[in-house]
Amino acid sequence: MAKNIYTLPACSEHGGGQMSEQTVEQTETATFFRRMREQNQGLTFDDVTLQTGYSEVLPHSVDLATRVTRNIKLNMPLISAAMDTVTEHQMAIGMAMHGGIGVIHKNLTPDEQVGEVQRVKRFLNRKINHPTTVRDDRTVESLLREKEEKGWNFDTFPVVDAEDRLVGIFTKRDLRFVENHSLPISEVMTADIVTAPRTTGINQAYELMRENKVSVLPLVDNEGHLTALYLIGDVMRHREKRSEYTLDKNGQLMVAAAIGAGTQGIDRAVQLIESEVDLLVLESAHADTQSMLETLRALKRDCPSVDVLVGNISNPRSVSRLIDAGADGIKVGQGPGSICTTRVVTGTGAPQLTATYWCAEQSDMPVCTDGGIKYSGHIVKALAAGAETVMLGSLLAGTDASPGDMVTIKGIPHKLYRGMGSLGAMKAGRGAAERYGQESVPPEKRTPEGVEGAVPYKGTLPGVVDVLLGGIRSGMGAIGAASIAELHRRASFLRETAAGGREAHPHDIVIVTEPPNYTR
């Protein structure tokens, strides 16, 4: 571990006694940022580079497991931002299947946001413990109407009789051959079904489904009552890649959702918790405020079982207040995003790398760096400065999983991407205006702290994430860090000049083939 020993002067309680020396052992990173602070310098990612050293760590052997909060672990350090052009259910599903997590934005009504959370939770089930059933005497028409009203995105319904005994299965395949929707489900369902005992495990379920060539396996008790349900798609996904997924205790994908301050934020949180959200992200453009702290205390008092990631801040003095109020993780970043104008409009905030280090240095609370990430190397630098996760917006907004609209600019496909402080976002929903403390301001008088733009279309989410993770692994391998915790200890920063920054980029050529992980 790279360390530097230096001495700090210590004086008596009253300041007039004899000076003594206190020996302090520090990492090279701590020494670097201490010297920058002595010069009143705030740095961001392109202001520094990380020094390489002797390494026995190959990139493929790097362990990227980390924490987003004190109780929630991830298999990789990437989180998708709570932005209305970045994260809805499709992005959250993709991030969880890669080992990260997505944060459903709050520029939705509470019911809409709950619906997005539920679509993530229902996407993958090791075993469905509370399947939605339908009575056998109900008409097909009434079931289809309820399915549309409630936004259900599943098509398999166990059918039960008046005594709640399983009598059949109704699926999309059955519906395909129904011409008269006024018929009772008992006349169109599949009655000849394979069942298994309630104690059947996932591997046993797979063998039964394979042997009988069925895609649905209901579990029943001795009286024939339905207790749970296996679906072949879920079973196969768990068998193939379950070790990579971010899963809850029930084998479902984990998902986070954003909330704001005040009673409306708490009411929204209660609805989200009832929908089995795994993580609440209490967010504001400035989180170290009375209303945010009061909301956090109320949440942790009334809903202590759910972790809360709180942000955003950039001042290390804010960390202790958030921790005292009950934060389970801290989100850092005020104005570094590519679509954010907060620092220009308000004149406040701090460069992102410095903010990350000084907030992470205050405690062992997990810190998430939110904003300012353009390259995978920036992620390595953020993690080296003490972050345990990074929140991404623009890097993911151009993928197929983002909800932004596709547009063509100069013949090149782009996806729309906007800051939550932009006028467009604040007009689209209450959540954006609330994040910037302008929900009570008339729309025509609101002050934007973000812009609306577009990013080049980058293809599939897995393709983008895999390239980012490859860059992170290469950077950590070059430093000799086999884990994020080891990166915190071994990292050594070097201040980079403008000329050094130019040297780091391709220069003196015309790029004819642009790689997927680099734009200038």
Active-site annotation holds for 340: yes
The pair of three-digit structure tokens given for residue 300, joined into one six-digit string: 């942790």
Query: Is 100 buried (19+), middle (13-18) or exposed (0-12) by CB count in 10 A?
Result: buried
Bridge partner residues of 260 (DSSP): none
Within 275-388, where are the H helices? 290-302, 317-325, 342-346, 352-360, 376-384
Q: Which two tokens stand for residue 409?
A: 């600019």
- Count other Cβ atoms within 10 Å, centred on residue 64: 18
303 is catalytic: no
CB of 24 closer than 8 Å to CB of 38: no
> Can you say whether the dihedral through the CA atoms of 101, 104, 110, 112 is positive or negative?
negative
Query: At 253, phi and psi to the nearest 5?
Result: -60, 140
Task: Output the six-digit token pair for 152.
Answer: 């259900």
| Helix (H) or strand (E) run with residue 331 in it | strand 329-332
Q: Which residues contact 423 (CB under 8 A, 6 or more apart)?
A: 446, 448, 452
Question: Interior CA angle at 31 toward 27 and 32, to 5°?
Answer: 115
Let me know: does 356 contact 367? Beta carbons within 8 Å.
yes
Residue 214 tokens read as 């069925």
Please pick, among 268, 435, 473, 490, the residue that the annotation labels catalytic.
435
Active-site positions?
340, 435
